[in-house]
Chains A and B, each alone.
Chain A
Amino acid sequence: MRRGDAIGRHLLLITAIVLMLFPVALALATSFKPVSTIFDLNPLPFPASMENYDLAVGKFPIGRLLWNTFVMAAGVTVATMLVALPAAYALVRFDTARGRGFVLAAVGISLLIPPQALIIPQFLMTAKLGWQGHTIGVIIPQLGVSALAVLLLRDHIRSVPQSLIGAAVLEGATSWEILRHVVLGVLRPALGAVAILLFISTWNEFLWPLLVMPDPEDTTIQPGLALFVGPESAQYGPMLAAAMLASLPVVVIYVLASRRIADAFLHSGVR
C-alpha cells in the first residue's frame, strides 16, 4: 500500500471514530466538571469534581434501577440461551426431520414482524398475568425475539466439525449428550459472545420496560434515566453523571470481550 493511501486510510478511520464518539466523550468529561463551569468550552474537567455524581446518586434511585436492569438483562440472556440453543442444535443435527423447513420459516418471519406492532397485545397479556411492575414481565415477553439467537447459534453450530460429532455418535452418545458435551464444549467462546451481545442489547432496552415498569423509582435504567430527566429539568451535570453510570457496566463488559464479539460476528454467515 502506498504511503498516501495508508495515511488516507488512517485519516478516514480516525475521523469516523472521533465523530462517532465525541458526544459521549464530551459528556464523560463534562460529568466531572463542577456545576459552575459546566457550559465552559474548555472540555477538560480539571480540577475534577464528583459533585454531579453526588447529586445524581442523591436524587435518583440509581442502585435500584441498576439492579433491576441487571436482573432483566441476565434473565433474558439465560432464558433466551436455554430456549434458543436446543432449537439451533436440532436445526443442524436433525436436518432431515419433517417440519424443519416450517420451523426455519417461522423463526425467520418472526424476526421480520416489526416489534412495535406487537406491543399492545403484549402489554395486555402481561397486565392480565399480573406481571405489570415486576421484572418477570419485562423478561418473559422478550423471549419473542429469541429467534435471532436461534439463527446466530445455528451458524456457529454448523461450524462444529462433523468428525467430532460422528465420533461421539459411534461411541453411542445420545443427541442430548452430544449437545451438552461436544457442541457446548467446542463452542463455549462463540456462545459466550452471543450471550454477551444479548446481555448488552437487553440492558439497553427502552420501550418495553417503560411500558411494563413505568414507576420512575422502580424501573430499569434506560426508562429510569429518561423519566429522571423529564421535560422541565435541564440540570445537565447530574443528568450526564447518571447517564455515565448507566453505560458503565456494559462498556466495561464490551471492552473486556470485544475481541470475542468481533470474532463471533466475523464468522457469522452475512454474505
Chain B
Amino acid sequence: MTLTKTPEVTPKARVVERPAATGLAWLYFSPTMLSITVWVYGPLVFTAVLSFLDWNLVSPDIEFNGLKNYETLLTEPEFGNAAWNTLKYALFVLPFATVVPCALAIALWKRPGRVSEFYRMLLFLPVVLAPVANALSWQFILDPLYGTLNQVLGFAGVEPINWLGDPATALPTVVVVTAPKVVALNTLLFGAALASLDRRTVDAARLDDATEGEITRAIILPQLRRPIVLLGLLSMVVVWPWLFTNIGVLTRGGPSNATDNVYYRLYTYGFTFFDAGTASAAAIVIALAFGLLLTVHTLLSRRFRATR
C-alpha cells in the first residue's frame, strides 16, 4: 500500500511546492518594484538629465548646458578638495570598520553567555542613539574654551586646542565623533559572520594548549577574510549619511572647507547655491566613482577565487 502511494504523492508535492507562477510572483514583486522605480531609478535618470542643464530649481528658465557643469566641477578647486577629503575620510574610517569591530566581535564570540550578551547590548547602542544628540554631546566636550577635553588636557599642561575650528584637526575629529556608530554596527555584523564558525575546532585547539592569540590568528582570522573586505566596503555605503549629520551640525564643511566631502559639496551646490545642474553632475560623478569601486572589487574577488 505504502509503496504504491508514495510515488504518487512526492511528484505532486514537488510540483505544488515550487510553482512557476510567474504572473502571481510579479503581483508580489510589484509594490517593491514600483517603489524603487519611482524613488530610485527614476530619480537617477532625472539626475543624469539635470546634470546637463543650467537651472536654479525654481525659475521657469532651464537651459541646456552641455558638459559645462562637469567642466565647472572638475576645474573648480572646491570639488577637487572635497574629493581629496572624501578619500581621507574613507581612510580614517576604515580601521573603525574593520580592525576594531573585528577584535571586539572575536572577544565577544570567545566566551558566549550573559556577560557577553550585556556587552553586546551596550556595544550596539551607538547605532541607535540619535545622531544629532551625539553630535551635540561632542560639541559640548570639544568646546575650545570650556570643553571637558581641553579642561582635562589642561591639567597635563596642554594648551587649549580648537578641535573643530582648526583645519588640521577638524577632519579627524569629525571621524572620531562618527566612529562609534561604525564600530557598533560592524561589531554586530562580524558577530553574524562568526556565528557560522565551528566552536569545536577552537575547543580542540584549547585542549592542545594553544594560546588564545594563536587560536585567533590560526583559526578565527583566516575565516574572517571575506567578511573583513565585505564590511569594509559596506562601511563605505553606510558611513556617509552619519558623517553628513556630524558635518552639518558641527562644522558645516568648514573651517576653510577642511571637513567638506563630495556628499556635503553636492548638498551645498544644490541647497545652498540652488545650482541643480552642478549638484547633479556631482551626483553622477559620485555614482560613477562608486560603481567603478564596486566593479574593481568584484573583478578582484573573482580573480582571487580563481587563483585559489
B248 in contact (CB, < 8 A): yes
* Complex contacts, A97 vs chain B, CB 8 Å: 20-22, 24-26
Q: What residue of chain A has the Cβ atom nearest to residue B154's Cβ?
A: A41
A58 in contact (CB, < 8 A): no
Contact A261 B124 (CB under 8 A): yes
For A250, give its contact among B47, B124, B130, B183 (CB under 8 Å). Answer: B130
B94 in contact (CB, < 8 A): no
Closest Cβ–Cβ distance, residue A143 to chain B (whole Å): 4
- What mask results when residues 115 to 139 of chain A are scored 1 for a CB within 8 Å of chain B, else 0? 1111111111100000000000000
Q: Given contacts A1-B206, A169-B16, A211-B271, are A24 and B124 in contact (CB under 8 A)?
A: no
* Complex contacts, A223 vs chain B, CB 8 Å: 132
Closest Cβ–Cβ distance, residue B276 to chain A (whole Å): 6
Q: Given contacts A89-B28, A120-B270, are A144 and B287 in contact (CB under 8 A)?
A: no
The number of residues on chain A lying at the interface, defined by a beta carbon within 8 Å of a beta carbon of chain B, is 103
In the complex, A162 Cα to B13 Cα: how many Å?
A: 11
Contacts of B102-160 to chain A: CB distance below 8 A: 103-104, 107-108, 110-111, 117, 119-134, 136-141, 143, 146, 148, 151-152
* Complex contacts, A170 vs chain B, CB 8 Å: 13, 16
In the complex, A110 Cα to B121 Cα: how many Å?
A: 31
* Complex contacts, B165 vs chain A, CB 8 Å: none
Give the most central of A5, A90, A113, A211: most B CB within 10 Å.
Answer: A113
Contact A125 B29 (CB under 8 A): no
Contacts of A202-218 to chain B: CB distance below 8 A: 203-204, 206-207, 210-211
Q: Given contacts A5-B212, A206-B241, A270-B189, are A144 and B39 in contact (CB under 8 A)?
A: yes
Q: Which of B67-75, B192-200, B300-308 lines the interface with chain A? A: B192-200
- What mask results when residues 172 to 211 of chain A are scored 1 for a CB within 8 Å of chain B, else 0? 0001000000000000000000000000100110110011
Q: Which of B30-38, B76-84, B166-174 lines the interface with chain A? A: B30-38
In the complex, A123 Cα to B132 Cα: how many Å?
A: 22
Contact B130 A41 (CB under 8 A): no
* Complex contacts, A207 vs chain B, CB 8 Å: 241, 244-245, 248, 267
* Complex contacts, B164 vs chain A, CB 8 Å: none
B1 in contact (CB, < 8 A): no
Contact A20 B123 (CB under 8 A): yes
For B33, give its contact among A41, A106, A267 (CB under 8 Å). Answer: A106
In the complex, A170 Cα to B8 Cα: how many Å?
A: 13
Q: Given contacts A41-B152, A112-B294, A162-B17, are A12 and B103 in contact (CB under 8 A)?
A: yes
B93 in contact (CB, < 8 A): no
Closest Cβ–Cβ distance, residue A192 to chain B (whole Å): 16
Closest Cβ–Cβ distance, residue B256 to chain A (whole Å): 16
* Complex contacts, B108 vs chain A, CB 8 Å: 13
In the complex, A119 Cα to B57 Cα: how many Å?
A: 12
Contact A90 B29 (CB under 8 A): yes
A146 in contact (CB, < 8 A): yes
Contact B245 A247 (CB under 8 A): no
Contact B226 A271 (CB under 8 A): yes
In the complex, A119 Cα to B127 Cα: how many Å?
A: 23
Contact A206 B35 (CB under 8 A): no
Q: What residue of chain A has the Cβ atom nearest to residue B264's Cβ?
A: A116
- What mask results when residues 1 to 40 of chain A are scored 1 for a CB within 8 Å of chain B, else 0? 1100110010011001101110110110010000000010
In the complex, A19 Cα to B126 Cα: how many Å?
A: 11
* Complex contacts, B136 vs chain A, CB 8 Å: 27, 225, 229, 239-240, 243
Can you report 14 residue pairs joining A to B where beta carbons are below 8 Å apart? A13-B123, A21-B126, A23-B141, A103-B32, A107-B36, A120-B57, A146-B35, A225-B132, A229-B249, A236-B143, A239-B136, A246-B130, A265-B192, A266-B192
Nearest first, the 8 closest Cβ-Cβ pairs linking A and B are A144-B39, A90-B28, A27-B137, A243-B133, A97-B25, A121-B43, A117-B283, A121-B46
A165-B17, A243-B136 known, 14 other contacts, Cβ within 8 Å: A5-B211, A26-B137, A27-B136, A30-B140, A41-B148, A94-B19, A116-B244, A125-B43, A144-B36, A144-B43, A207-B244, A225-B136, A236-B139, A262-B124
